[in-house]
Amino acid sequence: MTDILTRNDAVNLEHVAGSSGIVLGANQYGKAEVRVVKVTRDTNRHEIEDLNVTSQLRGDFAGAHLDGDNAHVVATDTQKNTIFAFARDGVGSPEQFLLRLADHFTGSFDWVTGGRWLAESYAWERIVAHGEQHDHAFVRSGQEVRTAAVIADGDERHVIAGLKDLTVLKTTRSGFEGYPRDRYTTLPETADRILATSVSTRWRYVPGAEVGYNAVYDSVKAILLEAFTENYSAALQTTLFEMGQAALVAHPELAEIRFSMPNKHHFVVDLEPFGLDNPNEVFYASDRSYGLIEASVEREGVTSPAEVWASLGAFC
C-alpha cells in the first residue's frame, strides 16, 4: 500500500524524503511570459518598446518543496510586478533590462543565488500617413523576433542574445551531392537547388565585455544575412558555419554563437504528365518533415559553459 502524506499528518517531509533515499534536485521557479509594453511619451513623438519577459529564480527553496514553508518564496506575482516597475524607467536593450532584474533579485533576497531571465522583443515601426511618419501610430514589423537571456550564478553573469524566425531563401548557388546512398535513399543529387531556412541563433558575450547591445544586435543580424548570400552552399551545414564564422570574426566581444536551422525543402514538381518542362522554376514547398541542422561555432580555446546553455532548454 502506498502511504499518502499530508500536512495534517504532521510528518517531517524532509526527514521522510531523506530516509527513503529520495532528495530534492535542481529547481527554479518564477513568472513566465510577462507581456510588458512601454510607451515613452516625453514629447509628442512617442516611442514604443514591446517585450515578453520570463523571470525564474534559483537558490534556497528546499523548504517550500519539502515542508510547505514559503518563507523564501518570492511570489511569482511579485516578480511580475517588478518587471512592470522596472519598465517604468525604460527598457533600453532587452539584455540590459534583464541584467537589471538579475541584479535586483540576487541583491535583494539573500537566499536567491541566481536565476534565469529571458526576453523576446517585438519590433514596431511608424505608420506612414499623408506621406509622413505618424507620431503615435504604429504597425508591427520586423523580419524576426529578437531574443535575450541572462543567466546568473552568484556574481557571475552570462549574457546571451539572439533572434528566431528569420526566414531566408536563395534560389540558386546551392546543392547537395556526394552523400552516402543505400537501398533506402531516394533523394536525387543536385548542384542547383533552392536553399531556404528559418534561422534561430543565440550568441554568448564574453563575460564582462563592454557592449552596446542594440548596435551589436543590428550588426550581427546584418552579417548573418550577408554571409547567407555569399559562396556556393554545398550543404546547409556549410552555410551555417560560414554565417557563425563571419559574426565571430567581426565581433571579438562574442565568445560563441549557436544555430538551429531547419532545411525548408523546396522540391521540383514533375510537370511531364502535363506535357510541360520544368527548368527549376516550379517547386513544392514542403513544411514537414524537414532536416534540422544545429551546431555551435566557437573560438578555439574558449570553454563553452554547458550548464548555461542547458538552462535555456534547447540547443539555442
Is 109 labeled as ligand-binding? no
Is 77 labeled as ligand-binding? yes
Is residue 31 annotated as part of the catalytic site, yes or no?
yes
Collapsing DSSP to helix, strand or coil, 160 comes out as strand
Distance CA 198, CA 294 (A): 12
Annotated catalytic residue, options 76, 113, 164, 170: 76
Annotated catalytic residue, options 80, 221, 251, 265: 265
Annotated catalytic residue, options 31, 80, 158, 251: 31
Collapsing DSSP to helix, strand or coil, 73 comes out as coil
Is 204 labeled as ligand-binding? no
Distance CA 65, CA 314 (A): 26
Helix axes 94-108, 76-87, angle to 10 degrees: 130
Distance CA 161, CA 39 (A): 23
Q: Which three cell numbers stand for residue 194?
A: 533552392
Contact 57, 27 (CB under 8 A): no
Spatial CB neighbours of 216, under 8 Å, sequence gap ≥ 6? 161, 251, 253, 254
Is 263 labeled as ligand-binding? yes
Beta strands 254-263 and 283-285, pairing class: unpaired
Is residue 78 annotated as part of the catalytic site, yes or no?
no
Contact 76, 30 (CB under 8 A): yes
Is residue 266 annotated as part of the catalytic site, yes or no?
no
Q: Which three cell numbers stand for residue 248?
A: 565571430
Is 79 labeled as ligand-binding? no
Is 76 labeled as ligand-binding? yes
Distance CA 246, CA 31 (A): 36
- Residues annotated as catalytic are 31, 76, 265
Query: Binding site: which residues?
Result: 76-77, 176, 193, 237, 263
Query: Binding site for 5-hydroxyisourate: which residues?
Result: 76-77, 176, 193, 237, 263
Query: Binding site for urate: which residues?
Result: 76-77, 176, 193, 237, 263
Query: Binding site for O2: which residues?
Result: 76, 263
